[in-house]
């Protein structure tokens, strides 16, 4: 179960973990529909009872829209992950 530990982390020109890498860490793609992104952080909130409604999947969202969700809803987690290189 340690397969991911030796993966190289992509770093962007600012020395931060790349946006694409952070997105793939925080967003889950549906197996049936690769256009359907489910936010893991919203899912955790839902499962731990922080929010009472199941998070809506982001269907057909662009990278920009995914980043916007993550930076507005989960700014702290996003920043932490970006620095985690």
Among 19, 38, 41, 61, binds Zn ion (CB under 5 A): 41
CB environment 19-41: b (16+ within 10 A), e (fewer): bebbbeebbeeeeeeeebbbbeb
Number of residues binding to Zn ion, judged by CB under 5 A: 4
Determine, following the binding rule CB under 5 A, whether residue 39 of this chain makes contact with Zn ion: yes
Q: Between residues 21 and 58, which has the closer beta carbon with respect to Zn ion?
A: 58
Q: How far is the CB of 44 from Zn ion (least distance, A)?
A: 9
Determine, following the binding rule CB under 5 A, whether residue 73 of this chain makes contact with Zn ion: yes
């Amino acid at each position: 179960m340690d397969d991911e530990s030796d993966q190289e982390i992509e770093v962007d020109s600012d020395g931060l973990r790349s946006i694409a890498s952070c997105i793939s860490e925080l967003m889950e793609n549906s197996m049936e529909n690769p256009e359907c992104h489910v936010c893991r952080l919203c899912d955790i909130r839902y499962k731990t009872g922080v929010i009472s409604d199941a998070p809506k999947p982001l269907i057909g969202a662009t990278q920009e829209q995914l980043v916007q969700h993550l930076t507005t809803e989960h700014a702290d987690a996003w920043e932490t992950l970006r620095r985690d290189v």
